[in-house]
Amino acid sequence: MVSVQPTPIAINEHKGVSFRRPIDAAKESVQVIDLADRLCGPGGLRRVGGEWVACCPLRDHDDRIPSFSVNPEKNVWFCFGCLRGGDVVTLAQLAWNYAEGESHIAAADLLHEFGHDIPQRPPGWFEKQRRQKEMRRAIDDARVEVLTRRLWKYVFEPIVADIEDPVERARCAEELWAKVLPYAARIVEARTLGAAS
């Protein structure tokens, strides 16, 4: 019988400096055994040879037989029940229900939880934001204009077209057009904030 070693699920890690700094700091500052001990509770971990084992502390794995293993020497963990493993940031991300792309937030939360300083963004990042501010504003303005025209064409123009009196139609069109632009701006702002979070 051929034994197949399960591979841990890979979690995408961002390559940007502002994302890497908290992740690297958390890996250096917090030991996986300390987080596992906190997640498993008092007496949850027990030593077996060179590793520590417990029932899996992840919420989506109902473990009755200890299948969660921590190797403090290598500073890694693996669960043989749910076939996941990795470093301390991956454990925090899975245990605290962070999304796949939020490993940098999990790392910052991990540093905060264990009393370490969260690395600040480099000064170059703030300069880049300042340089790109005008371009972002122009892109948002273009989005507002496109959305305004689409809202007018598909929502408001059919309403105005049904009005028979030309004077009333012109007054209604002017009134509705004044309402479309702020409405489109709010939609674009909500989408932009939703994408940033």
Instruction: Please report, for the domain that includes residue 27, its CATH number.
Output: 3.90.580.10
List pLDDT tens digits, range 110-150. Answer: 999 999 988 887 788 788 889 999 998 898 888 888 888 88
12 within a domain of the structure (yes/no): no
- Which structural domain range is residue 33 located in? 17-113
Question: According to the model, what pLDDT value does residue 184 have?
Answer: 81
What is the residue-wise DSSP string for the chain? ----PPPPPP-----SHHHHHHHHHHHHHS-HHHHHHHHH-TT--EEETTEEEES---TT---SS--EEEETTTTEEEETTTTEEE-HHHHHHHHTT--TT-HHHHHHHHHHHTTPPPPPPPHHHHHHHHHHHHHHHHHHHHHHHHHHHHHIIIIIHHHHHT---HHHHHHHHHHHHHHHHHHHHHHHHHHHHHHH-
Last residue of a domain, one of 113, 135, 170: 113
Q: Quickly state the pLDDT bin for 193 (edges 50, 70, 90).
A: low
List pLDDT tens digits, range 151-185. Answer: 888 888 888 888 888 888 888 888 888 888 787 88
